[in-house]
Amino acid sequence: MMYISKLVIEGYRCFNEKTEIPLNEGLTVILGENGSGKSAIIDAIRLILNEDEFGNVKITEKEFWHSIGNTKNEIRSNFTIDLIFSGLNEKEQLAYLPWLNPNDLCSASLHLKVQNKTNSRNQYKRELWGGNSSSSIFEWDTYNSIQCTYLPPLRDAEQRLRAVRGSRLARLITKMESKNNARERLEDIVKQNNKELLKDELIVKAKDNIKNRLIESLGEQLAQDISVSFSETRFERIIENLKLLFYPLLDNEVSVEEFRELSENSLGYNNLIYLATVLAELEQTEENELSTRILLIEEPEAHLHPQLQTKLLEYIEKQARISGVQVIVTTHSPIIASSVDLNNILVVKRTDFNNSPTIVPLKNVGLTPKQKFFLQRWMDITKSTLLFARGVILVEGIAEGLVIPELAKRVLHKYLNSKKKISDYSLEEYSVSVINMGGIYFESFFQLFMNAEEQGKGIPIRCAGITDCDPKESDTPYVGNECECNNPALKLQMILKDNKYCRLYSNSKTFEYDLALCGNNFLVMVDTFLEILETDGSIREDFEKYKKEFIRKTDSEKAKIAKCLLDRIDNPKLCGKGLFAQHLAYKLANEEIEFTVPNYIEKAILWACNLNERSESNVPTNSGN
């Protein structure tokens, strides 16, 4: 069955250079932050297919790409939109014969070119053709047989479902009627009901009363006769007067009188009812009718709570597969991103406002089957935010995930040398996400970004990994006394040595250990630990003593004390890393205390925020100071 396999845009809105956008036969979910170009992709399809609502909208100068922040104020003299169709069956090959690719009869193309010149009616000159030749015969009936339906963001579903001419319900019934020959049957039912109702004594009296007043005022020679009807009996008017109602529960025993107006329903559920009518209409296709059906949905998450978003995407994906409807969705919902197959995701990134957005189909980033399986399982709502971010910091566990956002405030404050308070800074300001992988799964996550220098093979944002050296448990490394690392992920440091988008930074032992050996952090961390400790025995006494003596200790002695603190923090009966990290993060966020960020963490944060171009930090390091 024919579907759009590729959209090609050049000169349209934010797409300056020629950009190819591959699309799936069933479901394609387009992800991207605000302003990345998602809506331009949808509108390009609407424009070339003359989608119902878009067909009435005039092209303006805003549709042509124009430069931003450029004194020349460049603007394109034209824009082009091309659709490549694949999967044509024999019937479709005959119907779209002039559009066919002579080298591949299962492929066809449609082209639109719009000149940045207006005629006397202030309309831009446009040229539409199918196939390789713009002078070939263009069959409008064939072109119009492609059904393109658009659901806008924040749609007013109640308005679109009202009982008016052209309502969604009326359109659905009209399509269904052609299969069921129900026109005469419905008209006969309404006619018969009208006859019975007009016999009612009250109706007859009212009609006669009006008629008598006419005769009295005009006389029998000038007066007109009147009658009363409850509804027009034409099929079109019957279905235009039908309206959808709702009941908040599924109950076959409920009478229709108990159903309520849609104005009483929630916005989210009305959106779902509206979508259900659209999908039902798209399913109504005659056996010998050309059936290329395309559904464009912007932000289906509008007004829906998380569980409904997930259920909706599952349903759309199923319908696309079963009914042969090509569905193209745009979203910036991490819930939807985490619930859809990675092969169906298209990431749109705009890194330069004077160049076209980068299009990255995740099925093309080089994931092995094992990596894809892993990411599919682990891509929850939190982790999927990396697909929308401008930078990513990958960490091994919950401790780093909780503390590093607070450390980042100090790093940014120091780097920018600002007079603002530390709390005024955040990674969110740079759209950087901290992703807790729950292990050393860097290779799978790096694969999403590491090949981005090749167009469409990776997401073009910086991704920094922060990992532990993991030497022998008994080792107590310090500057000048590094230990052998046992973390297998560290092999990636040399592999990524010259990579433009990925870096892996490591410490001398573990996260908490290296924090404790930095500056005067040990004192803050001991205070945090003692706040959690519930006993007043020898452990508390030992650490109160360590606090007083730590500054005078040698590096070797400090390392052993830091190891002792790590052991206590790591003991779930005394503390636990997660609980300690929560308390430390709270202390860093709410107390004005001196706390030094280890060098390897500082470099990772600056790299992810695109504030540090140096790459020497990518080679193996064993020092956290």
Angle between helical axes of 521-532 and 555-569 (0-180°, round to 10): 30
Q: What is the DSSP letter of 600?
A: H
Q: Are residues 174 and 308 in the same domain?
A: no
Q: Which DSSP letter does residue 478 get?
A: B
| Statement to judge: residues 152 and 190 lie in one domain | no
**Residue/partner pairs of 15-19 with CB below 8 Å, 24 or more apart:** 15/40, 15/44, 15/65, 15/356, 15/357, 16/65, 16/76, 16/354, 16/355, 16/356, 17/355, 17/356, 18/356, 19/356, 19/357, 19/359
Pairwise CA distance, residues 204 & 338, whole Å = 64
- Beta strand ranges found along 206-324 (DSSP E): 293-298
Q: Which residues contact 431 (CB under 8 A, 6 or more apart)?
A: 33, 388, 389, 390, 391
CA distances from 466 to 60, 475, 542, 602 (A): 49, 20, 31, 10
Indicate which CATH number applies to the domain containing 79.
Answer: 3.40.50.300
Same domain? For 178 and 298 the reply is no
486: left (phi over 0), alpha (psi -120 to 50) or beta: alpha
State both tokens at 82: 């091309």
Instruction: Please tell me whether residues 312 and 407 are part of one structural domain.
Output: no
Could you say which of 225, 242, 259 is where a domain stops? 242
Domain range for 33 is: 3-156+288-348
Q: What is the count of structural domains for the chain?
A: 3
Please, which residues bridge with residue 296 across strands? 150, 328
Cβ atoms of residues 437 and 396 within 8 Å: yes
Domain presence at residue 266? no
Question: Is position 110 within any domain?
Answer: yes
Contact 274, 149 (CB under 8 A): no
DSSP state of 350: -
CA-based angle 229:243:275, to the nearest 5?
A: 155
Share of the chain above pLDDT 70, in %: 91
Domain boundary among 348, 375, 397: 348
- In a shared domain, residues 525 and 595: yes
Poorest-confidence range of 269-283, 294-308, 455-469?
A: 269-283
How far apart, in Å, are the Cα atoms of 153 and each of 297, 329, 401? 8, 11, 33
- 619 pLDDT tier (thresholds 50, 70, 90): very low
Dihedral over Cα of 489, 493, 498, 500: its sign: positive
- Tell me the one-letter amino acid at 361: P
Nearest Cα neighbor of 337 from 374, 303, 293, 383 is 383
The alpha-helical segments, DSSP class H, found in 333-470 are: 334-339, 369-378, 398-416, 442-446
* Residue of 434, 441, 463, 439 lying closest to 367 (CA atoms): 441
226-275 pLDDT per residue, tens: 777 766 777 777 777 777 776 777 766 777 777 777 777 777 777 788 88
Using 50, 70 and 90 to split pLDDT, how confident is the model at 220? low
Per-residue pLDDT reduced to its tens digit, 124-161: 999 999 999 888 889 999 999 999 999 888 666 667 67
In a shared domain, residues 508 and 577? yes
Which tens digit of pLDDT belongs to each residue from 404-414?
Answer: 999 999 999 99
What is the Cα–Cα distance from 221 to 461, expressed in whole angstroms?
A: 86
User: Tokens at residue 312, please?
Assistant: 């909706």
Residues 128 and 185 occupy one common structural domain: no
Residues 325 and 572: their CA atoms lie apart, in Å, by 53
pLDDT digits (tens, 9 = 90+) for 477-487: 988 888 999 99
CA angle 162, 165, 167 (to 5 degrees): 45
Q: Is residue 267 part of a domain?
A: no
Q: Is residue 180 part of a domain?
A: yes
The amino acid at 108? A
270 domain-assigned: no
Q: By three-state DSSP, how is residue 189 classified? A: helix
Q: Which two tokens stand for residue 382?
A: 């939190």
Please give the pLDDT value at position 624.
42
How do beta strands 27-31 and 326-331 pair?
Answer: parallel
CA distance 621 to 476: 16
- Shared domain check, 217 and 88: no
Least confident interval from 42-46, 176-180, 200-204, 463-467: 176-180
HEC assignment per residue over 192-238: HHHHHHHCCHHHHHHHHHHHHHHHHHHCCCCCCCCCCCCCCCCHHHH
Whether 446 and 579 map to the same domain: the answer is yes
Rounded Cα distance between 539 and 546, Å, is: 11
Which residues have CB under 8 Å from 140's CB, separation 6+?
none
Residue 55 pLDDT more than 60?
A: no
Question: What's the mean pLDDT in 366-371?
Answer: 96
Instruction: Verify that 42 and 132 share a domain, yes or no.
Output: yes
pTM for this prediction: 0.87
Q: Is residue 559 predicted with pLDDT exceeding 80? A: yes
Is the per-residue pLDDT at 303 higher than 60?
Answer: yes
Query: How far is the C-alpha of 313 from the C-alpha of 29, rounded, in Å?
Result: 10
Q: Of 242, 277, 300, which marks where a domain is finished?
A: 242
Write the DSSP symbol of residue 58.
Answer: P
Nearest Cα to Cα of residue 25 among 84, 110, 104, 90: 84
- Look at residue 359 and tell me if it is in a domain: no
Domain identity same for 332 and 398: no
Q: Are residues 147 and 171 in the same domain?
A: no
Out of 23-27, 44-48, 90-94, 308-312, least confident range: 308-312
pLDDT digits (tens, 9 = 90+) for 190-211: 888 888 877 888 888 887 888 7
Residue 194 located in a structural domain: yes
Lowest mean per-residue pLDDT among 238-247, 270-279, 369-378, 435-444: 238-247
Q: Residue 590: inside a domain, yes or no? A: yes
